[in-house]
Structure 1
């Protein structure tokens, strides 16, 4: 008699069960890609705001108004309101960060301006304008924004 060389039904069932267990444990990590993408975009926005604020401060320093409140500087065709060398308000931020008004939702939270996604309040970017010549503007990603955009 010739012996068959295939897999038994039990071996196939065991392999399928093992693959099912692996899929169940790995699936949540891969299904959360949207939150990871949002969080990465928020980190990028934080960098863009911080970089634009730094460039604005440099321009204010060149103009000699980096330590004064309620000043303006010009950048191209735009006039930017600054306080102590940094963008003073939402309009100033929109002038120095390209695409800010088109791509992000915003909300006010005290002195801070929050930026985030519509319907997503787990993380957002907070920009707090400078409040003194020795107190720079603060840009940070915060957890649990507490507001829906």
Structure 2
């Protein structure tokens, strides 16, 4: 009678470990820095929200037909508007866009007439932010909305 083998040989086990090591060496660098990518993607979403909120609140302001109105109500929140252009003031753009301080740093004090929105956890907010500059107090001007995603670590 022949004796049956009851498990894997040492060579088979070593080969499996070597193959898993090679796969891990190639796969690991792809997953090392997902935090920066996640913050950049979050910022892209905030950029779209700010642009949409600016356009929607402006359309609401135009639909009201009162060119002297300095506020509108959007989703239960009062949004301060620039009466000469009908776009949201910098201090109100985050609430108009549904961006909360729970997930973002919202700075409206550094630059007058501008809101700088950066994701929580970013090391240098000047390299990873959305900037909303409210329009000048002259008729027919639009806000400037820009995104910077140079380094979201």
Q: Does TM-score exceed 0.5, indicating one fold?
A: yes
Displacement of 1:111 in angstroms is 5.4
Give 1:54 deviation, angstroms: 0.8
- Would the aligned equivalents of 1:115 and 1:126 in 2 still touch at CA under 8 Å? yes
Corresponding position of 2:98:
98
Displacement after TM superposition at 1:11 (Å):
3.6
Shift of 1:81: 2.8
> Deviation of residue 51 (structure 1)?
1.2
Structure with the largest fraction of strand: 1
Check whether the contact 1:124–1:145 (CA below 8 A) recurs between aligned residues: no
Question: Which consecutive residues of structure 1, in runs of 5 or more, have no partner in the other structure?
Answer: none
Q: How many corresponding residue pairs? A: 142
1:48-93 alpha-carbon deviations (Å, 9 max, x no partner): 111111111102222253xx8xx61331562513251211222x21
Which blocks of at least 5 consecutive residues in structure 2 are unaligned?
Answer: none
Contact 2:135–2:144, Cα closer than 8 Å, also in 1: yes
Partner of 2:80: 80
- Does residue 32 (structure 1) correspond to residue 33 (structure 2)? The answer is yes
Shift of 1:134: 4.8
Which residue is equivalent to 2:142? 136
With a CA cutoff of 8 Å and minimum separation of 6, indicate the structure with the bigger relative contact order: 2
Cα distance, 1:40–1:145 mapped onto 2, change above 3 Å? closer
> What residue in structure 2 maps to residue 125 of structure 1?
130
Q: 1:24 to 1:58 in 2, by over 3 A?
A: same
CA RMSD of aligned residues (A): 3.3
Decide whether aligned partners of structure 1 residues 110 and 7 sit closer, same or farther in structure 2, where only a CA change above 3 A counts.
Answer: farther
